[in-house]
């Protein structure tokens, strides 16, 4: 793939506020977007995420009053994704989730699992010193979900699909709605962010960014 193709996709992508509601993303195209999320790297390879594909219009309507940053997107997006991040319960070094992913996803031997568990526990308690702060543990998971969100939006742009990342929501109230709908277990997950996908209704304004010189410092 030529560099220009990738850069064109980055220039094409923008935070689309309203989509063409009648134009739907083909299944094979959205499967491609989801696969780029699945293949996203994560710290220690622990994949602290879950992706809810919210296609139910009634639940979207329930979310609307508490999602001020997604009013038009909820109504018009072809696909609306709520990205969940795992809580401290799942991300502790000795949790069932971490043990399961090392044994069954990574397929590690018990000896290697013991070594990785020790290194991970040191990371949580000493290196990043976040273990005793439940919110910090959750935010650490959230930061990794943003890698997946970024990959999804870039892969969408590469095939001409628009997107919009959304943080404009009341976390507690949005989570209450998902709990009531049987879509969220707070012991294991919280909402990290939302991302809407579809096809733009209007053309965006020209993209603006700082220059390379303003944001990059070379140390030789």
Say yes or no: 115 and 76 in one domain: no
Domain boundary among 105, 130, 155: 130
Domain hosting residue 168, numbered range: 3-86+138-215
In this prediction, residue 1 carries a pLDDT of 66
**Confidence (pTM):** 0.96
Percent of the chain scored above 70 by pLDDT?
Answer: 100
Tally the C-alpha atoms within 13 A of residue 141's C-alpha that lie toward its C-beta.
28
Q: Which of 51, 49, 40 is nearest to 81 (CA)?
A: 51
Say yes or no: 160 and 181 in one domain: yes
What order of strands is seen across the sheet that includes strand 79-86?
49-53, 79-86, 189-198, 162-166
Percent of the chain scored above 90 by pLDDT?
Answer: 99
Interval 165-210: pLDDT, tens = 999 999 999 999 999 999 999 999 999 999 999 999 999 999 999 9
Say yes or no: 151 and 205 in one domain: yes
Say yes or no: 9 and 60 in one domain: yes
CATH number at 186 reads 3.40.109.10
Distance between alpha carbon 187 and the CA centroid of its chain, in Å?
19
In this prediction, residue 104 carries a pLDDT of 98
Place of tokens 């083909």: 26
Rounded Cα distance, 57 and 19, in Å: 15
Rounded Cα distance, 21 and 31, in Å: 20
**What is the torsional sign of CA 132, 138, 141, 143?**
negative
Query: Would you say 91 and 190 are in contact if contact means Cβ atoms under 8 Å apart?
Result: no
- Per-residue pLDDT, averaged over 84-99, amounts to 98
Say yes or no: 67 and 145 in one domain: yes
Number of domains in the chain: 2
- Per-residue pLDDT, averaged over 17-36, amounts to 98
């Amino acid at each position: 793939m030529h560099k220009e193709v990738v850069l064109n996709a980055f220039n094409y992508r923008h935070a689309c506020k309203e989509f063409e509601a009648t134009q739907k993303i083909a299944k094979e195209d959205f499967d491609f977007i989801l696969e780029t999320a699945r293949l996203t790297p994560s710290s220690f390879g622990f994949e602290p995420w879950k992706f809810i594909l919210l296609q139910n219009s009634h639940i979207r309507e329930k979310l609307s009053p508490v999602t001020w940053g997604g009013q038009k997107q909820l109504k018009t997006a072809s696909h609306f994704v709520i990205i969940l991040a795992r809580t401290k319960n799942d991300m502790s070094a000795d949790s069932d989730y971490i043990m399961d992913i090392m044994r069954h996803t990574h397929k590690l031997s018990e000896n290697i699992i013991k070594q990785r568990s020790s290194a991970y526990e040191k990371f949580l308690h000493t290196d990043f010193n976040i273990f005793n702060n439940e919110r910090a543990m959750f935010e650490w998971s959230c930061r990794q979900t943003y890698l997946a969100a970024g990959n999804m939006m870039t892969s969408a742009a590469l095939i001409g699909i628009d997107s919009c990342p959304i943080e404009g929501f009341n976390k507690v109230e949005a989570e209450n709605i998902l709990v009531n709908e049987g879509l969220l277990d707070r012991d294991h997950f919280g909402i990290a962010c939302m991302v809407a996908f579809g096809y733009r209704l209007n053309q965006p304004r020209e993209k603006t960014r700082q220059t390379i010189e303003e944001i990059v410092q070379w140390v030789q």
